[in-house]
Amino acid sequence: MSKLQKTAYGGQAVIEGVMFGGKKIMVTAIRRKDQSIEYFQSSRRSNRVLTALKKIPFLRGIAAIIEASANGTQHLNFSSERYDVHPNEDDVIKEEKKESKLSLILGVATIGVLSFLFGKVLFTLIPVFLANLTRPIFASDLAQVVIESFFKLLLLLGYIYAISQTPLIKRVFQYHGAEHKVINAYENNQELTVKSVQAQSRLHYRCGSSFILFTVVVGMFVYLLVPTDPLWLRVVNRLALIPVVLGLSFEVLQLTNKVRHVPVLRFLGYPGLWLQLLTTKEPKDDQVEVAIASFQELLRIENEGKSVTGGEQVS
């Protein structure tokens, strides 16, 4: 296996396509309305602070989330604005059509940043208030933390299941499965053909979905260290501990990925894989074809040593 092949690549599903990222370049391929495949390339943007934080355990997870969110926005916009427009109409895309797609962009982005910013705060605080309603029956701190974690898990699963029933998100989850299959084929030294890629698992240990679930599990243990009463202090603690939970959860995710080939320890990553049964769907051949095209384009650019100064569309 060459040095390039040992690179740990990552990606994410976008509307009607897949984005893959290397160390310096990010490439998205989408299926256009005329069934052609179009690419979008951009350099991986970062800054000194994030680069420094990514080298520090327990802080690198937060830096990675911020960087991934910032870098992925361009690619989400590209896919949402062009996936259902015929290439002949690219120059006359109506402004109102762009505006109508804003909700689609937010719907897809929420999955990727569910444990970050507003989404994380929302999914952290709602379970707190729900659990506090049961205090007359379950008064101890231990019981309150367990019940709070149960509500958080229930809310998370319910939310993902609900949006997965919409046609758009269902297709995004199919592309999510295609992304995982390509990465698995690559890491298992398999050919990047539709047949070979389809034979791979749609689940992967490094998936962001696993990270979301780990925030629930890790959060439960962290919250046991602080009081749950009075309510105002509980709310303050939960908000203040969000960076701690995110940082620890990222380290757990990295650990489960490192030990995934150890028979006794590989089960540690199973909860995250189980959640991926909701956030990924079995892709169709044409969706796998798009994912393969995106990944191969990334490899081609890296092999040629090219650089991309900004967002760039390639037919």
Could you tell me which of 193, 220, 162 has the C-alpha nearest to residue 288? 193
Q: Which residues lie closer than 8 Å to 36 by C-beta, 6 or more apart?
A: 87, 315
Tokens 């709602």 sit on residue:
126
Query: Worst-scoring range by mean pLDDT, 113-122, 233-242, 251-260?
Result: 113-122
Q: Return left, alpha or beta for 35; rule: phi > 0 is left, psi -120 to 50 is alpha, else beta.
A: left
Residues 65/120, Cβ–Cβ less than 8 Å: no
73 vs 14: CA distance, rounded Å: 10
Could you tell me which of 192, 170, 188 has the C-alpha nearest to residue 284? 170
Average pLDDT over every residue of 17-23 = 90
- For residue 18, CA distances in Å to 119, 225, 289, 295 come to 23, 41, 10, 9
The pLDDT of residue 264: 81
Most confident of 35-39, 42-46, 94-98, 205-209: 35-39
Higher pLDDT among residues 43 and 237, named by residue: 237
The pLDDT of residue 309: 52
Q: What mean pLDDT, rounded, does the chain reach?
A: 83
CB atoms within 10 A of CB 300: 11
Tokens 């830096």 sit on residue:
63
pLDDT in tens, 65-84: 777 777 777 788 788 888 77
Residues 204/180, Cβ–Cβ less than 8 Å: yes
pLDDT in tens, 198-242: 999 999 988 888 888 899 999 999 999 999 999 999 999 999 998
* This model's pTM is above 0.85: no
